[in-house]
Amino acid sequence: MATHPRHEASPTSTFDVIVHGVVESAECLESDMLYARTVLVKGADWSFKPVTSGDSPQRSEVITQMSERLPGPSAVFVWNAPFECALRSTNVSGWPQIAVALTTINSNGTDTVVGYARCHVPLHAGRHTLDLPLMQPVFSTPQHALFGALSGVKPELRDLSFLCSTDDRIVMQSRRIPGYVRLTLSVFVVGLEHLGYDV
């Protein structure tokens, strides 16, 4: 994120970031049925604000319906699940990010995450289509890897927001898997220039 402060901003100054988004689709070879769970992760100085007057408090999490793999050579799943949020902050630290988990239901009826993705909300206003690459965590020791191979258990994140954190990220190992999650975001940034940032 390339922002260049031009002058000292007032500590009471704020700016808003408004996002109208759609979790459009995914391509993933790991399952024949998937749903997506997205979590908005923001810094400590950021707060939700109503999109319009009288709106109820917004959720930071969106869960799509279950989607079956479309016929054809590509393993495509379609949701077209809309979401929106409006955020207010006094500084750009902790710029909002979106974490995504693609989840299936295994033969035991248990939800199992097959892939993760993440991105920052674009800094520039406008309409953005983002194809987020998929990754899977891997066991960090040979003993855990052997246990996973014998039990069929894959490592999962207890807290999806961990993907967007720098805390202890060095201890997590992951591998890229084929596929992506497609998000469409219409972003509006209001008042950032008044704080002295040249975007």
Could you report the per-residue pLDDT of 60-116, keeping only the tens digit for each? Answer: 899 999 999 998 888 999 999 999 999 999 989 999 999 999 999 988 888 999 999
Task: Read off the pLDDT of residues 17-56 as tens digits, 9 standing for 90 and up.
Answer: 999 999 999 999 989 999 999 999 999 999 998 765 555 4
Determine, yes or no, domain membership for 160: no
Positive or negative, the CA dihedral 68, 71, 76, 80 is: negative
Q: Specify the pLDDT at position 64.
A: 97
CATH number at residue 70: 2.60.40.150
Lowest-pLDDT range of 52-61, 93-102, 116-125, 160-169: 52-61
Q: What whole-number distance in Å separates Cα of residue 74 and Cα of residue 95? A: 34
**Which of helix, strand or coil describes residue 167?**
coil
Range of the domain at 121: 4-133+178-198
Q: What is the pLDDT of residue 36?
A: 98
Is residue 38 assigned to a domain? yes
Task: Name the H helices within 42-194.
Answer: 142-151
Q: How confident is the model at residue 194 (pLDDT cuts 50, 70, 90)?
A: confident
In a domain, 81, yes or no: yes
Quick one: pLDDT at residue 3? 56
Domain for residue 143, yes or no? no
Residue 132, strand partner residues: 181
pLDDT tier at 147, thresholds 50, 70, 90? low
Q: How does residue 5 score in pLDDT terms, banded at 50, 70 and 90?
A: low
Number of structural domains found in the chain: 1
Task: Answer yes or no: is 156 within a domain.
Answer: no
Q: Judge whether 153 lies within some domain.
A: no
Cα–Cα distance, 174 to 156 (Å, whole number): 11
Q: How confident is the model at residue 176 (pLDDT cuts 50, 70, 90)?
A: very high
